[in-house]
Structures are given as structure tokens and as C-alpha cells.
Amino acid sequence: MTLEEEIRRRSEGGALLAVLLDPANLTRERAAELASQAERGGADLIFIGGSVGAAFGLNDTILGAKEGSDLPIVLFPGNVDGVSPYADAILFMSLLNSSNPYWIIQAQALAAPVVRRLGIEVIPTAYLIVEPGQTSAAGWVGWVNPIPRRKPEIALAYSMAAELLGMRWVYLEAGSGAEKPVPAEMVAAVRARTDLGIIVGGGLRSPDQVRERVRAGADVVVVGTHIEEGGDVVDKVRSLKEATGG
């Protein structure tokens, strides 16, 4: 069974919780510590990546996370340099609402031969950035034309197009540390009219926020900034995992 198949199967019993580690902010030792705490709190996956400076220390972060836990490692690449042979899988993403074709297909064309040569499991994913994500690093770097929060039908249209193009997942992103997460109504619209797996990230800080998006149809919820802010990481992860119902 591939990791993607396992994620799909497990998400049928409740959403999965992924903890996002940004190599730009971590040493190998800190990555190991956070991965260990995430696993003890009940996290299901470790996502590794970022938009600015993430390539520096990428391999050390992955290796540190593997030293600290047995959780699957999924790459969340910010560019062609976000690829590593040490990961278990990669979200092979197209930023569909970018105004720059580089982020829609050119970066993917540059990365594809490397990904194929390394034999990393690929999870084809449409990446959509929602207001206020244009002010995030990903939005700024990716030349994003953000999806208005009050227009879930636009996210749905992009998601339908992604599905027709053969993608199997959509990542609805509000931006790292966003003040407001992706609206639950947007998640529900995509769930009701596509068969895509749905990943939701950006600005999720409370169990209630997680619970609301899981009820709307999220298969995987991603937390990063909330974990990096410190405090009792195990307790934070545990409370968020409990909210997924998984």
C-alpha cells in the first residue's frame, strides 16, 4: 500500500493531523525534538517545507524528524530545491491561482526528472491560496491571485479543474500564521462536489477551528506556526488531534 492510499484509508475514520516543520527555522536537533513531541501528541504525519530559505537544512530537518519519530515524512516543497531522497512522499503541487506560469507548471517540469530519478512517491496536489494568504510568504513568492473568502464557488471551480486534470488532492491554504483559516464553507463546497482528498492549512490554532473544518470535509489538517510558537507541544498536538475525530 502506498502512503497516499494509507492516508485515504485512515482518513475515512477521521481526519489526519499533519505537523509542518520549516527547515528555515530549525536545527536537526530541534526537528527531532518537535517530531518526537508531535508523535507523542498523536500526530499522523510530518510535513516538511517552506517558502523562503527552506532548502537550507532540508535534509538535516528530515533526518532529524526521522530520528525523533516514526511518522511518515511528506515534502511540502516551496520550489524545485524542496526535494529530498530521504522523504517518504512529496506533495507534487501546482499553485493553480498563481499569476506566474512558473508556479503552475514550469517549476514542476524542472523538478519532475529529479523526483522520478529519486523514486519518491508522488501525491498530485492542486495548491490554492485563500485570502488573506496573499500576505504570507507563499502568497508573495507565488504571485498569487488569492481566492476571496466569501467566494467558495471559485475554490470549487479550481478544484473541479484539478480533478479533471487528474490531480487527486487539493490543499486549501490560508497562509502560514494567518489570522483567519480557510472558511469551513469553502471546504464543504469542495467536499460536496469533488472526490478530491482535501488538505487544509494556515491559521489553525484551536481545536474548535480544526473540528469545524473536519466536519466540513477535510481529510488532513496541517498545523505549523501554532506548534513553532512553543509551549507544551505534546498537549497542543493532542488537543488538536482529538478534534479531528481520528
The residue ranges of DSSP E strands in the chain, in sequence order, are 16-21, 45-48, 73-75, 89-95, 121-129, 169-173, 197-201, 220-223
Average pLDDT, the chain: 95
Alpha-carbon distance 152 to 147, whole Å? 8
The residue extents of the domains of the chain are 3-244
The bridge status of strand 89-95 relative to strand 73-75 is: parallel
Please report the pLDDT score of residue 209 as a whole number.
97
CB under 8 Å to 139, separation ≥6 — which residues?
Answer: 129, 133, 146, 175
Residue 187 C-alpha cell reads as 471546504
3-state secondary structure of 44: coil
Q: Which parts of the chain sit beneath pLDDT 50? A: none
The string of DSSP letters for 92-136 reads EEEETTBSSHIIIIIHHHHHHHHHHHHT-EEEEEEEEEBTTGGGS
Q: Which CATH number fits domain 3-244: 3.20.20.390, 3.40.50.300, 3.40.630.10, 3.30.200.20?
A: 3.20.20.390
Kindly report the pTM of this predicted structure.
0.96
Please report the pLDDT score of residue 135 as a whole number.
67
What percentage of the chain has pLDDT greater than the value 90? Answer: 87
